[in-house]
Each structure stands twice: as structure tokens, then as C-alpha cells.
Structure 1
Amino acid sequence: MSQIPQIPVSKGYRRYVLILLTFVYALNFIDRQILVILQESIKTDMDLSDSQLGLLTGFAFAIFYVSVGIPIARWADIGNRRNIVALAVAVWSGMTALSGLTQNYAQLLLARIGVGVGEAGGSPPAHSIISDYYPPEERGRALSFYSTGVYLGILLGFLVGGWVNQEYGWRMAFFVVGLPGIAIALLVRFTIQEPLRGQADGLEQQQPSTFKETLATLWRLRSFRFFSIAAGLTAFTSYGVGNFLPSFLIRSHEFTPMQVGVSLSLIVGIGGAIGTYLGGYLADKLGTHDKRWYLWISAIMCLLGVPLSLIACFADNIVVVLAMFFFSTLFGACYLGPTIAITHGLVSPGMRAMASALLFFILNLVGLGLGPLFVGVVSDALSPTLGSESLRYAIAITACVGVLASICFTISAQRLLADSSKGRLPEDNQPSLKPA
């Protein structure tokens, strides 16, 4: 293959692309998580159980999100990634606004499935674009900065959703957060330049890999197997605990919807954003000479978050409760950027969107799909004996899964160096994952 000409890109434009894609990701999570802050109002209005809420906020969304994500990622590896992101934003934003018109549980469930289908086209192509704008030594921080969109979205979703819900009702909240996405979709389409695949790595033009080739490559990597499971277990605790935090604060600490919105926007939004960027920053710094730090950082932070979550569940002082949830969220968010970065480091540029989709398939199916559903089912099962306190114990049980996630990250780190020569296609000029 001949060397391709590089598209000249200024640092300022790279930052613009990263910031815009991060805002798109924030919008993704505003539209995804707005239901969480509204769920108590919806539960009362539609007479739902915790199991139905868990299905609505988790599994029903996740199963379509991860399933549709695979073919869209294949499309992103062979097509124009910018256009895919723009189309995805328009679809999920429209379906979010449509959620405000639903009249029963079945209609709302279908609308949320539509949001999941749209959001499946967001992250894999965005990950691939960012990895073609930022070289390997900056990629962990860039992808972590992008991943802060998760918590920026949660911050805005909780803050705006809590206020609009209290003042105008839950239906209006869906309209307020959904409709602006159409304008953002146009901004992506007409201001982001599609980068050449592999340009940030100084590689020759890469032919897109097939789904079978990408799957076979990742399956050979025992480190990927373990850190993808670890990421799924971490997300299991994050989504399981996070999606029921509003209900927990309302039921166990008598918060109003507005108090929940303000408190969780600061705790989850700011704490999660700091943790997400901190994880990438530490991984890039410590991983300069040994890439296993990308996984060790994740293991350490996951383990630290477990006791903090347990204290938050059982403390009586609300200041202690909120402080412990802040730091457990911070530590629990550190894994995301390093995990994506190490995935992209193990595969060729032509596999990156699909590799992200497969990673997110596991992460979201285990985490988003099963986490909230598990909490809801356990809460309903404990309700006959514990009453309104059943949710407290369901959240505490879920938080303990972080120990298992930490173990899986540690096992993965032990296998990373052996796998670094297996994943990429043979290229003499590709950077090694081995320590210097």
C-alpha cells in the first residue's frame, strides 16, 4: 500500500472536533438518562413497578443499542463517520422528544427503544474519528475528554430535567432536551472534516477489516476478554446504582425532584467528569513506559469505589451520603477512557469503530442492560420485608460487584504484554504496546 497524503489539521481544529463530539456525547446521555430523573413522576403517573422501571431505563434500551451498534460500526469502518454521527444525533433527539407524547408504558418503551437505535450510531464512529485526529501518546486523554460527555450529559439532564419536571411536568422535559439535537446534527454534518484512517499513527491507508476479522482478532486477545468483562461489570454498578439514585434519595431521604436534580447534577456530573478525565490523564502519564497502567488504574479505582458506595448507602447524615456518592462516582468513572484507548491500541485503524462497538456491546449489555434491571428486581423481591428501604439494600448489593470488576482488570493487565503483538495487523511502523 502506498503512503497516503496527510490532511493538514491545526491543533485548534482538532480541539474543536473533540469538543463538538464531546458535546454530542453529552447530548447522547442527556437524552438517555433524562428518564432516570423523571422516573418517580412517570412511575406515579403510569403506576409502574421498580422492575418495569429497571426494564425501561436499562435492558429494553440496551438490547437495541448494542444490537444495532454492530452493523452501524461496520458501516463506520467503511463509510463516512461524520455523516453517521450526524444522522444518529437527529434520530435519537427526535425519539426523545416523541417520548413526551406517549400515553402508556408500551408507547414509552417503544420510544426509548427508538432512542437506543439512534444512540447506537454515536460512539463507535466518534471514537474512530478521534483516534485518527490524535496520536497514540495523546489518545488516552482525548478519549477520556470525550468520555466526560457522559457526565456532562448527566449533569445537564439531571439539572434541567429536575427543574422542568417540577415546574412543567415530565412530558415537557422530554421536549426540552430532545429538540435542540436537530441543530447539533447539522453542526456536525457541516463543520467536521472526515479524517483519513490511520493518519494520526503515520500509517499507510488501511483497508477496512470485516466483522469476522475484527471479532477473530479481539477473541485472540485474552486481555480484551477480561477488560471488556471488567468494563461491563463496572458499568453494571454505575448504571445499576446511578439509575436508582434519584428514587433512593426521594424514598430514603425525602428529597424533592428539584433537590435530586441539583444534587445529582453536581455529584454525578462533576464527580464523573473529573474521574473520567483523571483516568485518561493518569493512564497516559504512567503508561508511557508500561501500558499495563491503563488497566491497573482502572482496577485500583474500581476497588476504591466499593467501600465509599456502601458508606453512602447506610449513612444517616445526608452530607456524608452525598460526599461518598461523589467520590465513588469519581473513582468509578476512571476506567472508560483508558479502556477505549487500550482497545484501539490493540487493533488496526480499520478495525477501530467495530472494536469500540464490540467493547460497548459487552459494556452496555452487562452494564446498562442488566444493572438497573438487577437493582429493580432485587428491590421488588426485598420490598415485602424491608418496605421502602428495599432499594437501599439492592443498591448496596450491586455496588459490591466493583470488587469483581477490579479483579478482572488486574487479570487483564497480566495478559496485556503477551497480547500486544497479536492484535494489530503486521506493520513495521506501528507503535508497540510493550514497555520501553
Structure 2
Amino acid sequence: MSTAEATRISTRSRGYERWLLFLLVLIYASSMTDRILVAIVGPVLKREMGLSDFQLGLLSGLAFSIFYATLGIPIGRLAERYNRKLMISVSIVAWSLMTMLCGTAGSFASMMVYRLGVGIGEAGSTPTSHSLLSDQFPPSKRATVYGIYALGPAVGVFIGAFGGGTIAHLYGWRMAFYAFGFPGIILGLIAYFTLREPKRGNFDSIESKHVPALKEVLAAFVREKPFWQMSLGIVTTSISIYGTFMFQSIYMGRTFGLNMQQAGLTLAIVNGVGAFVGGLIGGYGSDWMAKRDRRWYGWIPAVGSLLGIPFTIISFTSMNFAVSTVAMFLMATSLNVWNGPSFSVIHSRLEPRMRATASALVFLLMNLVGQGLGPAWVGWMSDRFASNIFTGSGDYAAACKAPIADAVAASCHVAGTQGLRYAMIAPIIMVAIATWSFFAAARSIGRSK
């Protein structure tokens, strides 16, 4: 424990720390409910708007992430200088309003524009929250804290999948966007009036008002091997997570005949609870094991990624619903242990006023490549595989575009189902790369002790 940590730890307000973490988890969950809704109502959007799987992939991935990722760094730079609670409050209100506008979309183009707006709004939340947490909690607790914070998406997935699927099934997909956008406005107001702005570098021996230039942060990224190795693992894992996750609802419908409500409930349990358990294992487990050997910060994500490979294969090859869903749960658990230990390693090697920018840099790579390209890649592969499998007359894309003629409906269903199955398995290539990267990071952490 550093001198700065020891001298300040007695002044911490446990009650406020719990509230801060709880509220930031809720805000993170709110952002994820907005993201997942497109995946949940995807079958209806595909039918009503005549979309291809590739277009669905763009709406659930690149349309959101292109601005979410690229604006993260300039907003992160602002977070190094200005009031962070104000930035978080404005961000959540902005993305919530854009989510509600998604409910008014009448075409692929208008939905694309609104999803871009959601991404712009959400860009100011996560890097800023990471910076707040670093100044509120000591280094010895950060993996646990980041692991708990990373439960936000798991909670959001559970609420969004179950609630969104149910609302969309009973009242229509537009009402789902209205229902999940409005609570974010309330959360934004609560954040503004209850959060505090902590002292920068509160638990660090380096206390400076100087904000390092962006090139200094980039230099640290290149210089510190664990930094870029953990980041590579995060990015490649994200390609697999987002690529498969955004199509699971559609896969459940095509393979097992589930409607939106049934698919939403299944995915709420599989992905919501699975990611929740994975986050706890990664956060608490790595902090506990790292007391003996700091290399566990890399080993735990590596083992999780390695286990994720067979679970992914079983998830999308089994034709037994129970076997498939259990494998999906284990896949979600194993592929979500990386968050807490990864950001703990990254932040422990940086000055306090580098952390928001560093988080934004990692999220730029994670979301632009992982969330931006992952779903689009899976959707594109699904269309390509389906075109090759299609046994009907003519071109698959033209013949199977809604509304589908009865004579070719069966051929379209078989091609679409099989094509998506193969596309969902392909991202294990990325998971294999992540496994190597996390093991390499563990080795570098051991050498730098």
C-alpha cells in the first residue's frame, strides 16, 4: 500500500462510495439497455423495413459505435480538466432522448441516424466514470471496483432483454424504445444532484494539476507492454462478444422458434446473469489471487477466454435447446471475466490525469473494432453463408427479402438459419487471439514486478 493510499484511506466515506458505485452501475446498465433493444427487436425491424442481416449488424454495431468510440478520446481529454459529474449527467440525458427518438424511426436511414445520436451521447459516460472511480477507491480495490462497475452491462442486458422483449411483444417495438429511454433522463438528474467531484490522484503518490498531452498517453500505451497486450485481448474478445450477442435473439428465433418475449427472457438469463457472474469472478477473483501473484490479473482473463472457445462451439452447434442455452450461459460467464483485472492493470501504470484518456483509448478500440465491426462482420458472413446454402431459384437476397413468397419460404428459412449458425461460430478465431494476448500480458506483468 502506498503512502498516499494509507494516509487517505481513513477519510473515505463508505456510504457515499456504495452510492457512487451503485449509481454508476445503474447508468452503465441504462446505456446497455439502449444498445440491446435493436438486437431484441431485430426480427421485427428486419421484417418491417426489409433489412438484411448485414444491415441489422450495422444498426446494432457500427451505427452506434462510430461516434461512441471516436468521441471518447476528446471527451476523455475534457474529463481530465473539467467537472466529471456534469459530463456524466449531460451524457445520459442526451443518449436517453436519442433512444426515445429511435421509436419514431420509419426506415433504415432514420434508425441509423438516431443510433448515431445514441453513440454520441454515450461517449461521455464510461471513460469519465472510470476516472471518477480511480480517484474514489485505492489501487488495491480497483479490480474489484471495476469488476462491479462492469456488472452494469450485465444488469442492462437482463433488463433490456427481458423487459424489452416483453414490452415489444405486447405493445410493439416502438414502445420499447420509449419505455427504456425515459428512465435515463431521471438518472441524469439524480447523478447531477448527488455525485461529488473527488480530488484528482486521491490515492496516488503523483499529485499534479498538469494534464499530460495526448502523445504522452499514447507513448505510455506503446511503452508499457501489459497496457497494449491487455488492450488487444479486450478488443479481440469484444469482437466475439458483440458479434454473437447482437444476433442471439435472431438465432433463437430461427433455430428454436422463440418469439421476442421468449428470446428476451432466455437471453436475460443467459447473458445477463452469465456476464454478472463473470464480472464478479474477474473482479474479486483477480484482486484476491493477485495478493499472491500479480500475474493473476492476466491469467484469469486468459483462462476465461480459453474456456470460451468450446462453449461457443457447443452453443451454436447443438440442436438441443437446453444444451445450447447452458453452453451460452457458460460462454457469457467465461468471456466476461476480463473487465476488472484489465482496467486495474491499465490504470495502475498511468498517472491520475491520464486515466480518463486511457480508458477512452481502450474503449475506442473496443467499441469501434469490437462493437462496430463485430456485429457487421457476423451479419455479413451470415448473408454470405446463406447465399451459398440457399437451394431456391434466383438470388438469396432478392428471393428472401420480406415479404417472402410461400414457395421459397422453407428454403429461405433453412439458408438463413444455417448461415447464421456458421457466422456465430467464426468469431472464436478472435477469442483464440485474446487468449494468447492475456497470457502474454501476465508474463509481462511478472517481468515488471
Summarize deviations over 1:212-248 as a string: whole Å, max 9, x none.
2111111212222222111101011100111100010
Instruction: Tell me the alpha carbon deviations over residues 226-280 of structure 1, each in whole angstroms, 9 at most, x when there is no partner.
Output: 2211110101110011110001000011111110011100110011011012101
- TM-superposed CA distance for 1:205, in Å, is 4.2
So what's the TM-score if we normalise by structure 1?
0.93
Q: Give how far 1:41 is off.
A: 0.8
Partner residue in 2 for 1:179: 182
Are the aligned partners of 1:295 and 1:338 in contact in 2 as well (CA < 8 Å)? yes
Aligned residue in 1 for 2:215:
212
* 1:82 Cα offset (Å): 0.8
Q: What is the aligned counterpart of 2:98 among 86, 95, 99?
A: 95
Would you say the 8 A contact 1:100–1:175 is kept in 2? yes
**Residue 167 (str. 1) matches residue 170 (str. 2):** yes
Aligned to 2:233: 230
- Alignment of 1:412 with 2:446, yes or no, is no
Q: Which residue of 1 aligns with 2:202?
A: 199
Residue of 407, 426, 430 corresponding to 1:401: 430
What amino acid maps onto 1:241 in structure 2? T
Matching of residue 126 in structure 1 with residue 129 in structure 2: yes
For residues 358 and 430 of structure 2, the distance between their equivalents in structure 1, rounded to whole angstroms, comes to 25
Residues 358-408 of structure 1 show CA distances to partners (whole Å, capped at 9, x for unaligned) of 111111122101111110011000102330211011001123421111011
1:297-347 Cα distance to aligned partner (Å, 9 max, x none): 101100101101111111121011100000110000000111111110110
| Structure 1 residues 20-51: Cα deviation after superposition (integer angstroms, max 9, x where no partner) | 00110000101111111011111111000001
Equivalent in the alignment of 1:428:
none
Match status 1:377 vs 2:380: yes
Matching of residue 48 in structure 1 with residue 47 in structure 2: no
Shift of 1:414: 1.9
Contact 1:206 1:349 in 2 (8 A): no
Residue pair 1:138, 1:284 contacting (<8 A) in 2 also: yes
Structure 1 counterpart of 2:420, one-letter code: L
Give the aligned residue type for 1:291.
R
What do residues 68-105 of structure 1 show as CA deviations (whole Å, max 9, x unaligned)? 11100000011111111111101100100011111111
What amino acid does structure 1 have at the position aligned with 2:318?
A
Structure 1 runs of 4+ with >4 Å offset: 3-8
SS at 1:201's partner residue? coil
Q: How many residues align?
A: 418
Query: What's the offset of the Cα at 1:121?
Result: 0.5
Query: 1:283-432 residue pairs with structure 2 within 5 A?
Result: 283-386=286-389, 387-388=415-416, 389-418=418-447
Q: CA RMSD in A?
A: 1.6
Q: 2:19 aligns with which of 16, 20, 29?
A: 16
| 1:272-291 superposed matches below 5 A | 272-291=275-294
Q: TM-score, normalized by length of structure 2?
A: 0.90
**Aligned-partner Cα distance in 2 for 1:249–1:113:** 27
Instruction: Judge conservation of contact 1:294–1:342 (CA < 8 Å) in 2.
Output: yes
| Distance in 2 separating the partners of 1:79 and 1:115 | 23
Identity %, equivalent residues: 37
Give, in whole Å, the separation in 1 of the partners of 2:318 and 2:284: 32
Q: By how many angstroms is 1:416 displaced? A: 2.7
Structure 2 runs not aligned, ≥5 long: 390-414
Distance 2:8 2:439 in 1: 38
Letter in 1 for 2:141: E
Q: Give the partner amino acid of 2:21.
A: L
Deviation at 1:417, TM superposition (A): 4.5
